[in-house]
Structure 1
Amino acid sequence: MKKQFFLIMTILISSLMHSQDSLSHKNEKAKIFGVSPSKKTKNVNGVLLKYYDEIDNEITPKKVNGLGLGFNGLGIFFPVLLLVNIGSINSWEINNADFEDLPKKMNTINGMQLAIINMEPTVTNGFELSLSSNISAPSVINGVSVSPLYNFHHTTNGVTISTFANVSKKCRGLQVALINVCKDSKGLQIGFWNENGKRKLPLINWNFKSKKEKL
Structure 2
Amino acid sequence: MKIKFLMMIAFFTGSIINAQDSLYTQSDKPGIIGFSPSKETKNVNGMLIKYYDEIDQEIKPKKVNGIGLGFNGLGIFFPVLFLVNITSIDNWEINDIGSNPLPDKMNKINGLQLSIVNMEPTVTNGLELSLSSNISAPSVTNGVAVSPLYNFHHTTKGMAISTLANVSQKCRGVQVALINVCKDSRGIQIGFWNQNEKRKFPLVNWNFKNKKS
Q: Please report the TM-score for the alignment, with normalisation by the length of structure 1.
A: 0.81
Q: How far apart in 2 are the matches of 1:174 and 1:90?
A: 18
Residue 90 (structure 1) aligned to one of 80, 89, 92 = 92
Q: Higher Cα Rg: structure 1 or 2? A: 2
The residue matched to 2:57 in structure 1 has which SS? helix
Q: Count the aligned residue pairs.
A: 187
Q: How far apart in 2 are the matches of 1:95 and 1:130?
A: 18
Q: How far apart in 1 are the matches of 2:196 and 2:55?
A: 29
Q: How far apart in 2 are the matches of 1:33 and 1:131?
A: 23
Q: How far apart in 1 are the matches of 2:114 and 2:182?
A: 24
- Other-structure match for 1:12: none
Q: How far apart in 2 are the matches of 1:130 and 1:170?
A: 20
1:94 is aligned with what amino acid?
I
- Other-structure match for 1:170: 170
- Other-structure match for 1:135: 135
- Other-structure match for 1:109: 109
CA offsets, 1:36-66, max 9 Å, x none? 1222211000110112122212x22100000
Gaps of 5+ in 2: 1-19
2:55 is aligned with what amino acid?
E
2:130 is aligned with what amino acid?
S
- Other-structure match for 2:4: none
The residue matched to 1:49 in structure 2 has which SS? strand
Kept in 1: contact 2:98–2:136 (CA 8 A): no
- Other-structure match for 1:207: 207
Q: Please report the TM-score for the alignment, with normalisation by the length of structure 2.
A: 0.82
Kept in 2: contact 1:173–1:188 (CA 8 A): yes
1:78, CA displacement in angstroms? 1.6
Q: How far apart in 1 are the matches of 2:131 and 2:25?
A: 34
1:89, CA displacement in angstroms? 2.8
- Other-structure match for 1:3: none
Kept in 2: contact 1:66–1:112 (CA 8 A): yes
Q: Percent identity?
A: 71
Cα RMSD of the aligned pairs, angstroms, is 2.0
Task: Classify 1:37/1:188 alpha carbon distance in 2 versus 1 (closer, same or farther; 3 Å).
Answer: same
- Other-structure match for 2:30: 30
The residue matched to 1:55 in structure 2 has which SS? coil
Q: How far apart in 1 are the matches of 2:80 and 2:98?
A: 22
CA offsets, 1:21-42, max 9 Å, x none? 99xx699700011111222211
1:212, CA displacement in angstroms? 5.0
Task: Classify 1:75/1:196 alpha carbon distance in 2 versus 1 (closer, same or farther; 3 Å).
Answer: same
1:207, CA displacement in angstroms? 0.4
Q: Residues 71-82 of structure 1: matches in 2 within 5 Å? A: 71-82=71-82
Q: How far apart in 2 are the matches of 1:90 and 1:78?
A: 15
Gaps of 5+ in 1: 1-20
Kept in 2: contact 1:165–1:178 (CA 8 A): yes
1:55 is aligned with what amino acid?
D
1:201, CA displacement in angstroms? 0.1
